[in-house]
Amino acid sequence: MTADLLARRSRQFKPLHGVRVTTLALNLPGPVAAARLRALGAEVVKIEPPGGDPMQQLSPALYRAMHRGVKVQTLDLKTAAGQAALDARLHDSDLLFTAFRPAALKRLGLERRGLAARHPQLSSVRIVGYPGRQAHLAGHDLTFQAEAGLIDTAQLPSTLLADMTGALLAVEAALAALLQSRQQGRGVWLDVALSEAARFAAVPRRLGITAPGQMLGGALPAYGVYRCADGLVAIAALEPHFAQKLQQAAQGGARRQIAHWCRQHTAAQLMALAQQRDLPLWAWTT
């Protein structure tokens, strides 16, 4: 099966066709989760306040990427008219995403008991910072990563790991809620805490696998980052058959031999060798 055929089948795979999602979630995790559900075929309508989504000001490119195919509607949920318009939309929705703290949900008339009474068919995924009774606490990706032990230095993280992991967990929760609601005939309400998403992403580190000198922390010469002639190369020849292929290519499996082999080639040459020899590596210029 060709790559083009696989890509076409992937685009045609729409298991959520007919599912109607309404999202109030701003910033990053909610829109990322909604974008994934949209890619699976769901109809997604996002409700934004009159001031818009802060993400649009922070990064227009990221905002555009996360809102392809998503219908955006402006409503002032602090007004009776805005709340009535949202209520009308939720009457025909299968799933609601929110990313407000409990007090804000209550002020907007979106607490669970009231919504469940008005819309018994509606399932909801609430994205919060912390689980349970701590859901009112403030936090952001940076603080969640720090709490999970993912930050070692004064440098900022290279990506928003808690937000992106949390978004995927929110998609998982949405799929579970939709499945269970169809089985039991009424809406299901689930919470996804970004602090727990960060802790989940940190499990390998917490167990010591990536600690300095451990298996994925530098103990294996075949798993590491080396300098090449014009940049860097990441090599992950963990399995014995990959390690053997690397040893054959580098004429040895010792760290100095692998390092020497890398320095003798450019990033482009290493990428070509990876395809020829079926090696798990990625090289790039710096």
pLDDT of residue 6 exceeding 90, the answer is no
CB of 34 within 8 A of CB of 46? yes
pLDDT in tens, 116-151: 999 999 999 999 999 999 999 999 999 999 999 999
pLDDT of residue 13 exceeding 90, the answer is no
Q: What are phi and psi of 33, to 5 degrees?
A: -60, -45
pLDDT of residue 3 exceeding 90, the answer is no
Question: What CA–CA distance (Å, rounded) separates 148 from 135?
Answer: 17
Question: What CA–CA distance (Å, rounded) separates 224 from 85?
Answer: 55
Query: Tokens at residue 241, please?
Result: 């058959």
DSSP 41-71: T-EEEEEE-TT--HHHHH-HHHHHHHTTT-E
Residue 138 has what pLDDT?
Answer: 95
CB of 194 within 8 A of CB of 146? no
DSSP state of 134: G
| H or E element in which residue 98 lies | strand 95-98
The reported pTM is: 0.89
**What confidence category does residue 259 fall into, taking pLDDT thresholds of 50, 70 and 90?**
very high
Residue 121 has what pLDDT?
Answer: 95
Alpha-helical (H) ranges within 93-160 are: 102-107, 112-118, 141-147
CA distance readout (Å), 247 to 48, 215, 219, 257, 280? 56, 18, 16, 9, 13
CA distance readout (Å), 136 to 57, 131, 193? 26, 9, 11
For a pLDDT cut of 70, what percent of the chain falls above it?
96
Question: What CA–CA distance (Å, rounded) separates 250 from 246?
Answer: 6
Q: Which residues, in sequence order, are CB contacts of 150 under 8 Å at separation 6+?
A: 157, 161, 198, 201, 202, 205
**What confidence category does residue 226 fall into, taking pLDDT thresholds of 50, 70 and 90?**
very high
Over residues 15-27, mean pLDDT: 97
Residue 7 has what pLDDT?
Answer: 54
Over residues 163-180, mean pLDDT: 98
For a pLDDT cut of 90, what percent of the chain falls above it?
94
Give the domains, in start order, of the chain with CATH numbers.
Answer: 3-204 (3.40.50.10540), 215-285 (3.30.1540.10)
pLDDT in tens, 48-101: 999 999 999 999 999 999 999 999 999 999 999 999 999 999 999 999 999 999
Burial of 80 (0-12, 13-18, 19+ CB in 10 A): exposed
Question: What CA–CA distance (Å, rounded) separates 175 from 42?
Answer: 11
How many C-beta atoms surround the C-beta of residue 228 within 10 A? 24
Residue 9 has what pLDDT?
Answer: 60
- Say how many CA atoms lie within 13 Å of 171 toward its Cβ: 19
Residue type, 222: A
Residue 5 has what pLDDT?
Answer: 54
